[in-house]
Amino acid sequence: MGFRVYIWFPQRIGFIRNTLKKPVPAEKRYRCDLVLGVPTGYDLVATTKPYYQSTYTMVYRKKSGLDLKSVQDIATLRQEQGRRLKVAVFDRTPGVDLLVKYHILDQALSYQLQTGDVEAYHGRILETDLLEGKFDVALIWGPIAGYFAAKSPESLVLIPLHSEPNIRLEYAVSMGVRRGEDAWKATIQDFLDRRKEQIKAILTDYHISLVDKKEGFLAKREPIR
């Protein structure tokens, strides 16, 4: 029908300012009216109720022979076998805090969280560097891990991680609208409420590590592909 239903903008500093809050004067509208994924309670927008929750995830190659269930296992390998796995983390993310907690920060391969490069995306490290052996394990946000692991030519193991004291790993995700647009927000919330099971099925198809407050992890801890 020719309708433009989405706008693409790279995830970087100024994202909300350049999308949801960016006027298009000639057309008397904003650049977009809805952001599909923001942290629940994000102060730059008005957020819906969470429509899913996920967690940071540990990813490694099945063919590596590793049998890791937690970041502590990485530290144990070092203590008991002298084996220093190289661990990929993005700066300013909880993965760094985990490495500090278990005294293995010197095993980190650090990547910049926001580079400003419009061609950059976090999943690239799973597509290239992991398969090329530049690191052994990645600590990465669950939706990114699940999506790129499912596309990988190799079988990857995904281990959803639990939050630990003073290290939050699990986060709720909402949709975001401009503040003051209560009727629009209510419309979106009604849609999310009615389509709850369909949304859950889509997230599951994308191998996203889902967390339920009552049931715990909903995703299976097993290799993808």
pLDDT, tens only, 139-192: 999 999 999 999 999 999 999 999 999 999 999 999 999 999 999 999 999 999
Q: Is residue 24 part of a domain?
A: no
Q: Give domain status of residue 138, yes or no.
A: yes
Give the mean model confidence (pLDDT) for residues 81-91. 95
Residue 114 forms part of a structural domain = yes
Least confident of 76-80, 117-121, 127-131: 117-121
Nearest C-alpha neighbor of 198 from the set 52, 53, 55: 52
Number of domains in the chain: 1
pLDDT of residue 225: 47
Q: Is residue 135 part of a domain?
A: yes
Question: According to the model, what pLDDT value does residue 13 have?
Answer: 76
pLDDT of residue 221: 46
Looking at the domain assignment, is residue 7 inside a domain?
no
Chain mean pLDDT for the chain: 90
CATH number at residue 152: 3.40.190.10
Q: What is the mean pLDDT of residues 39-61?
A: 97
In a domain, 184, yes or no: no
* Mean pLDDT along residues 58-62: 97
Q: Is the pLDDT of residue 216 over 60?
A: no
Asked whether residue 82 is assigned to any structural domain, the reply reads yes
**121 pLDDT tier (thresholds 50, 70, 90):** confident
What span, in angstroms and rounded, lies between the C-alpha atoms of 55 and 169? 5
Q: What are the CA-CA distances from residue 24 to residues 19, 85, 136, 176, 178 (Å)?
A: 10, 50, 46, 19, 15
Its domain, for residue 73, covers 53-160
111: β partners: 90
In-domain check, residue 17: no
Report the pLDDT value the prediction gives residue 8, as an integer from 0 to 100: 74
